[in-house]
Amino acid sequence: MLEKTKEGLSRRNFLGLAGLATAGVAASIAHPNAAFATEDGRVGDWARDGSETVDVPNSRGGNASSDDGTYREHTASAFPADDATPIPPRSVPASWDYECDIVVVGAGGGGLNAAARSIELGAQTICVEAAGLWGGNAQSAGMCAILGGSRLQEDKRFAFPTYPFDAQKMTDWAMDEYHFAANPKLIYRIAEGGGKCIDWMADCGVEWRLGEIPVYVAPKKSTLDHHVLKMKDATDAMYKFARNAGADFKFNTPATALVQDDSGAVVGIVANENYEGEVYIHAKKGVILTAGGFCNNKSLLDKYIPTAAMGCASSYLVLGETGECFRMGLGVNADVSGFNSSASFDGGVDWASEGKEWARFLYDGMTQLSRQPWFTIDRAGNRLRYMDSRVGEDGAAAIYALGDLATVQMSNPGHRGYIIFDGKYEDYLAGFGQEHCRKLITPDLEQIEKVPEHYRDWHHGVQDAIEADVLKKRDTLEELERDLGFEEGILTEAVEKWNACCETGEDDFMYPMPKEWLHPIMTPPFYGCRIGGNLYGTKAGLMVNDRMQVISTSGRVIPGLYAGWHTAGGAVGENSYVGDVILGSLLGDVSLAFAGGFFAASFANDADLDA
C-alpha cells in the first residue's frame, strides 16, 4: 500500500513498494476477509437512516454475503438512493492527503482494468472503492465479448458480421442497429479495441475458456451455460495483477466529490476513507470514473431513463449502482449521452408491488422460474409473445431472447406481464429446455460453491417468493384473478381460451407456443406473478469522446476527467430501449465495463491500445 503523505512518494520509493504488494495479495487470497476490512453486515454507506450499517441476514436467510463477499443481500434499506442533483466539486486544498498520478473510482470490472493498465504503464495509481472488496457487479455477472478480433476468436476463424474481422463493418452493422443515434467514432473504438482488451486481460492472467464462454464466439451447439458464476475468476485475476504491480486499493472508501482547479481541470477527488473522515487525493494525470451507473437511483432513472423507470420491475445489481459518479460528473458541468437507453433481461419479478425489495439477485430461483415459457398475459388479458432461448438446429444460441423478451414485458399496457401456471408446473420444466440465464440452479451445477447455500436449490428461492406472496398461490383461479388485481373475468376467460388451445394441441395466438409447451392450467393450486424487465445496465451516462475523456455541455473536454462504462454513456446511442445488441452493446455488458477501464487508462496515460 502507498503511504499516506503530504508530499507524496518518489518514483524510487513507489517502485520499491511494488514487491511488497505481492505478499499482501497472497495473504488476501489465502484469507479472503483479510483484504476486506469490513464488519459483518456492512454493505456501504447507503442505509436509509444515513448510518453505515444495515441488517444483513446470513445466506440461509436471503441473498447474503458468503465469506468472500460473492453475493450480498438486496434489502430495501441498502438502496434508498433517490437523488438526481449534481454533486458540486471541491476547491484545491492547501495540502493533499495522498499524491498519485491516476485515481480510479471503483474497483469493479472497469476499475480493476483501469488500475491494472495504469500501473502497467508506470503510473502511480490509487483505486478507491466504497465496498469492502474488489469485483463490483462484475464478480457475479456474465460476459459476452466482442464478436471478433481477439486471439481466441481468430483461432476459431470467427468474426461478425463476416470473417475476417473488420472493425468498420462491425461499426456499420452496429450503427444501423442503433438507428444511427450513437457516436460512430465511439462505436468504432469499441469494435476495434474490444479484442485488444480481451487479449490484454489474458496476458494479465485471466483464463478465457471457450465453452465456459467469457468470450462469446458462437460455436455450433454452444450456450452461455453458467458463465454468470465464473466472472469472479476474471476480477480476481485482474485484482491480483494490479496489486502485484503496486496499485494501491483503498476499500470502504467511497469517492464523495471531484476536486477542480481554477482552470476547470479535475485534479483529484475527495473520499471518505474507511467511512471515518474525508481525505483529498491528488491525481496528477487524471481521474477515471468507473463506479457504475444508476440502476438503483430512482430519481436518476425517472429523469434520464423514463422507459426503464416505468417498465423495469427489478434490478439485480449487487452493489447498488446509485449514481454518485454520474452526479459528480454533472457537478463539473459534464454533458449526458445515451438518454433513455437501458438494458434489461426478461423475468424481472415485481417484488416491490408487494412492498418488498425492488433490487433482487439475478439467480434466486424465482427469477429463473419466471423466465420459463408460461402462459403470459397483460392486464387486459392479451397474450404476450415468448422468445425462445433454446439452441437452434443450426447451432445458433438465442441469447437475444433475454433482452427481446424484456422489451415485450416492459412495453405492454401497464408495463407488466403476468405469468400463470398450475400445480403441475414442475412436470413441465425439463421440456422447456431454456438456456443462458434461464437455467435453473441445481445442486450439481458447476462452481455451485459460489452460490449461497440457501439458493443452491432453486426451490428455496421460489418458496421465498410464495411466503412473501410475490408468487401468489391460490386454490382457485378466481382468487388468483382477484389478488393479482385483474378485473373480474379477465384472467379466467384468458385461461379458458388457453386451455382450449391445449386441448386441441394447436395454439391460435399470432406467435404460437410449440405443441410440447401447451400445458393446461387446471390443477390446483394455481400460481401467478407480476413481471417486468430485470434492469442490469443503464446506458445513459456522462458523455465521452472516443478517448474516454468526459465532455462538458460546452462541447469541450473537461481536462483530467475520464469515464469508463457504466459511468459513461453513449455505447448504444440515444433512446435504445433495452439496448439489445448482444445484450446491451457490442461488448455485452460486463465486458463493456472491462474495456472502458482499459481504454480510459490507456489514454489517460498517453498510450495507445497496443502499447
Q: In sequence order, what DSSP letters do the residues of 126-165 get, joined into one string?
A: EEE-SSSSSBGGGGGS-----SS-SHHHHHTT--SSSSSP
C-alpha to C-alpha distance for 260 and 611, rounded to whole angstroms: 30
Question: Hey, how many other C-beta atoms are within 10 angstroms of the C-beta on 321?
Answer: 30
Q: What are the grid coordinates assigned to 359, written together? A: 433490487
pTM (predicted TM-score)? 0.85
DSSP letter, residue 419:
E
Under 8 Å between Cβ of 540 and 569? yes
CA dist list (Å): 563 to 20, 242, 247, 543, 560: 30, 19, 19, 9, 10
pLDDT at 222: 35
**Helix/strand number for the chain, H first, E second:** 16, 16
Residue 241 in contact with residue 204, Cβ under 8 Å?
A: yes
Beta bridge partners of 345: 534
Distance CA 293, CA 533 (A): 17
Length of the chain: 611
DSSP 518-573: -----SSSEEEEEEEEEEEEE--EE-B-TT-EEEBTTSSEEEEEEE-TTTB--SS-
Single-letter residue type at 171: T
Grid cell listed for 521: 392450467
Q: What integer pLDDT is reported at residue 38 of this predicted model?
A: 30
Give the pLDDT of residue 446.
Answer: 63
Contact 294, 321 (CB under 8 A): yes
pLDDT means over runs of 10, the chain (611 residues):
36 29 29 31 33 37 38 49 93 98 96 98 96 80 71 80 90 89 94 92 80 40 41 86 96 95 98 95 98 89 92 80 94 96 90 83 85 96 92 60 88 93 95 84 70 78 93 98 97 98 96 96 98 90 97 98 96 79 70 94 94 76
> Cell 439489445 identifies what position?
580
Listed in sequence order, the residues at least 6 apart from 104 whose beta carbon sits closer than 8 Å to its beta carbon are 111, 114, 115, 118, 125, 126, 127, 128, 288, 290, 597, 601
Q: Which of the 8 DSSP states describes residue 457?
A: S
Cα–Cα distance for residue pair 152/209, rounded to 1 Å: 9
Q: Give dist(CA 451, CA 66) in Å, integer.
A: 8
How close are the terminal C-alpha atoms of the chain, in Å? Answer: 26
Residue 368's SS3 state is helix
Quote the Cα angle for 353-471-536, to 5°: 60
Residue 84 amino acid letter = A
